[in-house]
């Protein structure tokens, strides 16, 4: 197995370089768009829950429920839907966004709720408006936790996106499914290795960002 | 202690028959009547749960009274824009409540910034108030709260409360978490500062010597109601049973020092 992994340059990937690159690009597109959507929806939703905690059970509950549906089943279930099922990548992005939402909503909510009460109280007493409190105090102090949520979601999405190939949405899963069908490990690894590298890079980059954004603190 | 503050006739802060109930219908403050004079330091003294902090938070609308009327500068709080009211009132609490992600400079500069002061004026003002509270600006401006000692954090908290030069200051046990030496140092400095600034100060404490040292008057609270308002000398002479433990404690301490 190890030999296989370190041998890959000479085998499949080099020969199919342009196809690998195309699939990497597709994969990045799927993950990038899904994550952008999940952040655009998840962070505001998390903030909303801190303001209206009564909605917390419903939103987080629904989301946890979605997480329990196996990805392959969710892709299949969504396929017959009119607009969504019309294009495979659209459907894949929709499903990946759903999966990525939970950690982002949850971490945004927790990050803000956990801001030290005296700090929030002092800010309010100093005459910050609700919006100033959010932007100047709550979000900066929660940024660390929110970014951790985004990181978890991104890494998971890179992996999950390989399954999108099953419904023809492209991405590195193409190689994995093809390799499985051909019973050829080289082909499977041509999909799996770039996906793993992508996940690790995303992890590294987001950890770096986390360190840059959250300044000197305890 | 004996000081003639610049007083005018109209009170800076006035409570009229104020009641505060929690959402669970517990009465934390009942039939509370108090007029805080311009330029005085009014100490709210009482045991925990007596309603000191509650009455303080009613002034800047962190809490809303269930009944009665509160006015600041002669205007009922309902007539005030709440943001303007709060920027008109400095607020200092135990441990400072500093923003951990801001430097000392940024913490102190925040309200002047929100008030859209020009940058040059803000910089000058930050230096001025830091010096006022005994912190060298060159040394401390760039530090984060976690790089300060408890006493230094408290000084920054006070500087931040003073930054936009509000006429009123609310202080909730600001020196409560400090070691005795730092505390008495800060009390002394605050006293001297107040001689110069003549703010209207409402100061919550459970420490009788702090109340006697810093207060123009002492409002004694017990179980959600006001027992009485006394000048320090009157406080030591009163026969209100609620004052007894405080007076006794103070006398005992005096005797220790005399012997």
The tokens describing A46, both together, are 């998390």
Residues recorded for chain B: 259
The tokens describing A90, both together, are 């659209």
Residues 6+ apart with CB under 8 A from B107: B98, B99, B145, B156, B160
Measured at the CA of B55, the angle between CA B53 and CA B58, to 5 degrees, comes to: 110
Count of C-beta atoms within a 10 Å radius of residue B222: 18
B86–A126 CB contact, under 8 Å: yes
- Given this model, what pLDDT does residue B256 score? 83
pTM metric for this prediction: 0.85
Over residues A88-125, the pLDDT tens digits come to 889 999 999 999 999 999 999 999 999 999 999 999 99
B181-240 residues touching A, CB cutoff 8 A: none
Residue A165 carries which DSSP code? G
Which stretch of A167-171, B4-8, B89-93 has the lowest confidence by average pLDDT? B4-8
* Closest partner CB to B101 (pick from A118, A121, A140): A140
A114 in contact with B at a CB cutoff of 8 Å?
no
- Dihedral pair phi/psi, residue B8, rounded to 5°: -115, 175
A217–B100 CB contact, under 8 Å: yes
The tokens describing B152, both together, are 């230094």
Nearest C-alpha neighbor of A99 from the set A162, A160, A165: A160
Q: Residue A75: helix, strand or coil by DSSP?
A: helix
Which stretches of chain A score pLDDT less than 70?
Answer: 1-11, 215-218
- Given this model, what pLDDT does residue A9 score? 55
Candidates B56, B110, B157, B159: best to mutate against A (most CBs of A within 10 A) is B110
More confident residue, A14 or B81: B81
Instruction: Give ipTM to 2 decimals.
Output: 0.87
On whether the CB atoms of residues B46 and B52 are closer than 8 A, the answer is yes
The answer, yes or no, to whether residue B9 has pLDDT greater than 90, is no
For strand B27-36 and strand B200-205, is the pairing parallel, antiparallel, or unpaired? unpaired
Q: What is the mean pLDDT of chain B?
A: 91
Residues 6+ apart with CB under 8 A from A19: none
B99–A123 CB contact, under 8 Å: yes
């Amino acid at each position: 197995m190890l030999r296989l992994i370190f041998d890959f340059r000479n085998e499949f990937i080099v020969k199919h370089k342009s196809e690998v690159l195309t699939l990497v690009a597709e994969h990045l597109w799927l993950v990038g768009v899904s994550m952008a959507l999940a952040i655009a929806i998840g962070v505001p939703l998390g903030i909303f829950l801190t303001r209206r905690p009564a909605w917390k059970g419903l939103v987080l509950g629904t989301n946890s429920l979605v997480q329990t549906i196996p990805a392959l089943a969710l892709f299949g279930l969504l396929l017959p839907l009119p607009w969504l099922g019309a294009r495979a990548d659209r459907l894949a992005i929709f499903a990946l966004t759903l999966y990525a939402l939970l950690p982002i909503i949850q971490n945004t909510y927790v990050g803000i709720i956990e801001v030290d009460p005296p700090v929030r109280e002092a800010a309010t007493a100093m005459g910050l408006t609700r919006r100033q409190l959010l932007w100047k105090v709550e979000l900066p102090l929660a940024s660390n936790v929110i970014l951790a949520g985004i990181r978890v979601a991104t890494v998971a999405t890179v992996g999950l996106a390989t399954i999108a190939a099953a419904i023809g949405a492209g991405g590195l899963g193409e190689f994995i499914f093809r390799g499985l069908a051909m019973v050829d490990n080289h082909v499977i690894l041509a999909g799996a290795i770039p996906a793993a590298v992508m996940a690790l890079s995303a992890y590294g980059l987001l950890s770096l960002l986390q360190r840059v954004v959250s300044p000197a603190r305890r | 202690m004996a000081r003639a503050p610049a007083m005018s006739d109209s009170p800076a802060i006035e409570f009229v028959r104020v009641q505060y109930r929690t959402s669970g219908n517990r009465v934390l403050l009942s039939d509370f009547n108090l007029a805080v004079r311009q330029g005085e330091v009014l100490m709210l003294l009482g045991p925990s749960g007596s309603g000191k902090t509650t009455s303080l938070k009613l002034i800047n609308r962190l809490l809303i009274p269930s009944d009665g009327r509160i006015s600041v500068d002669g205007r009922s709080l309902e007539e005030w824009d709440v943001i303007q009211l709060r920027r008109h009132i400095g607020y200092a609490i135990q441990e400072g409540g500093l923003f951990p992600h801001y430097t000392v400079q940024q913490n102190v500069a925040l309200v002047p910034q929100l008030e859209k002061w020009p940058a040059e004026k803000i910089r000058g003002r930050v230096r001025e108030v830091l010096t006022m509270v005994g912190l060298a600006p060159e040394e401390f401006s760039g530090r984060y709260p976690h790089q300060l000692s408890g006493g230094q954090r408290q000084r920054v908290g006070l500087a931040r409360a003073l930054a936009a030069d509000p006429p009123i200051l609310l202080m909730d046990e600001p020196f409560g978490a400090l070691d005795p030496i730092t505390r008495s140092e800060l009390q002394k400095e605050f006293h001297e500062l107040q001689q110069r600034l003549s703010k209207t100060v409402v100061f919550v404490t459970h420490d009788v010597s702090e109340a006697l040292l810093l207060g123009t008057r002492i409002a004694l609270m017990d179980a959600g109601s006001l027992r009485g308002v006394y000048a320090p000398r009157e406080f030591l002479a009163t026969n209100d049973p609620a004052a007894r433990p405080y007076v006794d404690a103070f006398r005992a301490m005096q005797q220790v020092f005399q012997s």
